[in-house]
Chains A and B, each alone.
Chain A
């Protein structure tokens, strides 16, 4: 696609339920990132996928968070047993392999998650 596509754009869920957030990166971009933006905060790194390499999960805040990337393209971020502190905007970004450091990412519009 022309840009990074994220769905849903908004999600309201009850505390304790599981949610899945989807990211469709730019075609051909091998690197995919998830970030979390909480109210009044900067962007918090969650996880990074690069090609067929093992993902860098160092930013995941707890074991309730997991992500996968199928076929080197679409990625799903799953949050189990959601808590109110999980409420945030979850941003996905992609980049060409080897160019991230220099050229940065292309971001999606994010999924606004509200846990009630």
Chain B
């Protein structure tokens, strides 16, 4: 079973629209961390945010915001007033307290149309 599910494969929005990228995760650990990474066309994954399982406070960073809800095992990412530079593939990832790896979702390809 997928530990991280990103149901949206591709999303297109017009510049200045808001967009939310969904992420649902599955774990039995009580301690875990959730991440979002951005992969622009250059290929390198860029870290955006990390949340631990004990902190459900939502976070806002400029035009980015994250909504972490343990009750629904979701960690959604919203971009407000999208810009063309936001076009990229976005990955959600889960890191459990045990084990050596991250579990990545399949990514959501976001295209922002000028």
Contacting residue for A45 out of B42, B46, B101, B106, CB 8 A: B101
**Binary interface encoding of chain A residues 97-110 relative to chain B, with 1 for a CB under 8 A from any of its CBs, else 0:** 00011111111111
Residue of B nearest to A44 (CB): B104
Q: Are B43 and A43 in contact (CB under 8 A)?
A: no
Residue of A nearest to B92 (CB): A42
Interface residues on B, range: 20 to 34
Q: Are A50 and B105 in contact (CB under 8 A)?
A: no
Residue of B nearest to A4 (CB): B44
Interface residues on A, range: 20 to 34
A56 interface contact, C-beta 8 A: yes
Besides A35-B104, A101-B96, A104-B102, 19 more A-B contacts (Cβ < 8 Å) are: A40-B106, A41-B106, A42-B107, A43-B91, A43-B104, A45-B101, A56-B101, A59-B101, A89-B43, A101-B33, A102-B33, A103-B50, A106-B47, A107-B44, A107-B46, A108-B44, A109-B43, A110-B44, A112-B43
